[in-house]
Structure 1
């Protein structure tokens, strides 16, 4: 039974709803068109209602609202027939009462859709299939779930967003369509930075041990006379070999040469001078005055000692 509102400018009726399969019209499942009784046509004809006719369906018990168009006025009085997917959206059972009210919707400019499963994107041309399906629709409402049949399979798609309002008309309008990732879509796992940087203990790099490199001529030097080497070979003064030559070449000291050689045993190398012999280079036995002059110069030699080779104690290789 229909409940009519006598307001002249608004069509608002209550009907009991049933699926379109009850009147042998299963093709109406592929769209949002409903079937209304002839009395509804008479009432709408007497009113100045814009075409195409659009209606708002309201289930007060579940507070669900959607929008639809009308295809025919051949239903029994007090009854309307809806696509089954629409009854599911409205949480309606067979024979439930639904309020039908005429509506005026703006033309849609943007629609965002979200498939339930990723296999919808596996279709060779899902956009073309969707465009063909939406030709059977008069309007779209945010929050609804529509059904797209293809190759004996049903694909369900959520209406995520519509512009310029939450319900829009898609009849003879250019509408931009966008897709959200399917509900069952899972992003591939990315290797975490902490896992990629972490290495097994046996693979972790250890600090390289410092291996000493061989550097020639870097050790400590030793002098032949046993003293500490304080000068390098380059800065050391040349050995004064001539300090002992005057004794050999000077004829006045010829008497001392046999005496010096007599103290050196044959077959031995002696480093240094004879300890019994004075290490003065310019002193001769005949000149006594030279000793006083040399003794007067001794303080100067103490202040600035000079290196003289082979002037230390003598050592024998045989100990």
Structure 2
């Protein structure tokens, strides 16, 4: 009890504190309560507050003992039924209150805020043309802000929820008639853009790879590319080169193959070969077959001088031009 001016008038110094059953604003048909943080209290609360030394504007601490949740609010009217208090539904959600739960209301004095940091739940709030102007208009309906609260901002028939993550100079501040700096944290659904990576090279198809990488050429088959050797063991005068293919009858298939010297061919200009049994050209004969099936030596003949082949023909390969030998000697 204190006395003022010597008149003996006593003013109690204890703060206002009372328990009420809370209900949302829809029970009293006052939907505008949802756009701020003010509550509606019974008339008896006004009578009690008038007899106490409290600071104006009236601010209150709202405590939910069951969930250990604390927030702060202002008062709009004193028209509620006795024992009841009506508050915005978003505030009841913050404090984990259900309709008809007991809540403790206590008068409080809060410092004027100088700084507050807000974090929208969705990045859609930042898509508003002027979010700071919308927020300033909305906060005119608020008396105080408490760190940890989630306030609701209604704009263009949409509801945006914002968390109070930091406040100065204390965890709960008054924003009535004060210049308060406002800062925004990235929205909860905001994701950092991933660094742009260079696009991988497109896969090269098999046909394109075949065009770009030439395949090694397969070796072509060349028939009879060996070196010619003589049957009598003498060294061959011709260099290695392709040999003309020989047919089944033993004669050369190439039109350029020359006939052996002394073969008796007409038109060659060479004398006829010595008389004897006729043989197929190009075949080796180791003995002639007689009438009795025994090999006989040919009668001795006087060898005639053989004309020399033209020099230009000597350098060419001639097939089967070696000497013949008899098995009997």
TM class by smaller structure: 0.5 to 0.7
> By percentage of residues, which structure has more helix?
1
2:64 aligns with 59
Check 1:197–1:121 CA distance in 2 against 1; reply closer, same or farther (3 A cut): closer
Check 1:40–1:190 CA distance in 2 against 1; reply closer, same or farther (3 A cut): same
From 99, 106, 128, the counterpart of 1:123: 128
Q: Is the 8 A contact 2:39 2:87 kept in 1?
A: yes
- Cα deviation digits, residues 292-319 of structure 1 (max 9, x gap): xxxxxxxxxxxxxxxxxxxxxxxxxxxx
Q: Is 2:135 the partner of 1:140? A: no
From 176, 185, 200, the counterpart of 1:180: 185
Gaps of 5+ in 1: 1-6, 203-319
Q: Is 2:100 the partner of 1:95? A: yes
Q: Is the 8 A contact 2:13 2:53 kept in 1?
A: no
1:110 aligns with 115
* TM-score, L = length of structure 2: 0.57
C-alpha separation in 1, matches of 2:82 and 2:92: 19
SS for the counterpart of 1:18 is strand
Query: Number of residue pairs matched?
Result: 193
C-alpha separation in 1, matches of 2:158 and 2:199: 47
Q: Is the 8 A contact 2:20 2:84 kept in 1?
A: yes
Gaps of 5+ in 2: 1-11, 205-329
From 31, 34, 40, the counterpart of 1:29: 34
Question: RMSD across aligned C-alpha pairs, in angstroms?
Answer: 1.8
* TM-score, L = length of structure 1: 0.58
From 46, 59, 62, the counterpart of 1:41: 46
In the TM superposition, residue 191 of structure 1 has moved relative to its aligned partner by: 4.0
SS for the counterpart of 2:47 is helix
Check 1:83–1:201 CA distance in 2 against 1; reply closer, same or farther (3 A cut): closer
After TM superposition, the runs of 4+ consecutive aligned structure 1 residues lying more than 3 A away are: 196-202
1:77 aligns with 82
In the TM superposition, residue 201 of structure 1 has moved relative to its aligned partner by: 12
- Cα deviation digits, residues 270-304 of structure 1 (max 9, x gap): xxxxxxxxxxxxxxxxxxxxxxxxxxxxxxxxxxx
In the TM superposition, residue 200 of structure 1 has moved relative to its aligned partner by: 10
